Structure 1
Amino acid sequence: MKALFISFPASDYAASKRFYERAIGLRLLREFDGEPHRFTNYDLGGMMLKVYEWQEKYYGVGHSGLFVETDDLDEVVNRIRSLGGKTTDIVVHAWGGRSCSVTDPFGNIFDLIDSNQKGNA
């Protein structure tokens, strides 16, 4: 497993783009403008920063702040559940990624994403 990206919500998407591109100088990797959100991915030298803004109300999994990729999502989810851990159901997002949210024993939430089906993350 490895960290794939960290995501930050943006209440002013244009201002966030100006900040990360002009003030910080991050290199843009990809932009997506669709449902249920739009996002911009930036290069962090082996990892990505994803800045996003919801376009509509969204109640599914995703964007907990940290996405960790695994090459066997089903096995990891089954292991977590068999040890009494909590996960959401695995979903395939509109952008193509297959993922689920995990809650650790202390209430911290992060997301697992299938490295074989990352979609256009």
Structure 2
Amino acid sequence: MIRLTVLYNLPPGQDEDAFLEWRLGEHQEANMALEGVVASEFHRVLKQERGGGGGYRFMTTVDWPDRESFERGFYDPGVQAKLEKDLERVSDPVMFVSECLVRERSETGG
């Protein structure tokens, strides 16, 4: 599995309620419509435990089953153009692309 993780804040003066309406609606639907996407989650960061620079307020993750489908879906020119426009709604974005090497789940549903 390939995961794109994006950490970000809102620009000063951004209406958080309007942002959340867009992010939980239109933008979530767009994430799930990307070629090959199998999951997308949106999180509010509650706190940063250790290290790193300034804190981040929000986190998005988007998952693809393999590197090939990630590259086809994420690096599509239309997707990249939309990403540039969407990034205007946030500040301080940091993106990570990672490959899952092991995945286990607890028996208690975690």
Fold agreement, TM-score > 0.5: no
Normalised by the length of structure 2, the TM-score is: 0.32
Normalised by the length of structure 1, the TM-score is: 0.30
Higher relative contact order (CA 8 A, sep 6+): 2
Question: Quick check: which one's strand share is greater?
Answer: 1
Question: Quick check: which one's helix share is greater?
Answer: 2
